[in-house]
Homo-oligomer: A and B are copies of this chain.
Amino acid sequence: MTRTHEHRVQIYYEDTDHSGVVYHANYLKYFERAREHMLGTQELVRLLEEDGVGFVVYKAELTYKAGARFGDDVAIRSTVELESPYRAVFKQDAYRRDELLVAGVVQLVCVDAQQKLVKIPDTVVRVIDG
């Protein structure tokens, strides 16, 4: 398992809805941003362009505890484990200082250009194994 990776998200107008807090679907966006930084954006771009391999979300589970508000600074804290050569499981939580806002588990698999399941590439496995 990796050490905990932290990615900061500032909450803008676009993130909130008329209830005053962040729209619930947006946490999936923040979790994805965090995963991209964790795995390395340029390697993800290279895998897609050179090898036609991309990551897709297979499962996502979210539990909402409290809502972030406009101007908040939210920390996405993530760890990742390989459950098999085909599946990476990310534990991703959104915090406002010490307060857990949203707890998530997101499972990813890799597909090739024909959307066929392929093993998670070695370059990414090495990042995950730390």
- A residues with a Cβ closer than 8 A to B are 10, 12-14, 16-21, 23-26, 28-29, 32-33, 36, 41-42, 44-45, 48, 54, 56-64, 67, 69-71, 115
7 tightest CB-CB pairs across the interface, nearest first?
Answer: A16-B18, A25-B28, A45-B71, A24-B57, A25-B25, A61-B61, A60-B62
- CB A76 to nearest CB in B, in angstroms, measures 13
Chain copies in the assembly?
4
A57 contacts B61, CB within 8 Å? Answer: no
Contacts of A19 in B (CB 8 A): 13, 18, 54, 56
A-B contacts, 28 listed (Cβ < 8 Å): A13-B17, A13-B32, A13-B36, A14-B25, A14-B33, A16-B18, A17-B18, A18-B18, A18-B21, A18-B70, A24-B56, A24-B57, A25-B28, A28-B28, A41-B71, A42-B71, A44-B71, A45-B70, A45-B71, A57-B62, A58-B63, A59-B61, A59-B62, A59-B64, A60-B61, A60-B62, A61-B62, A67-B115
CB <8 Å contact, A58 and B64: yes
From residue A111, how far is it (CB to closest CB) to chain B in Å?
9
**Do A64 and B57 touch (CB < 8 A)?**
yes
The interface residues of chain B lying within 8 Å CB-to-CB of A69 are 18
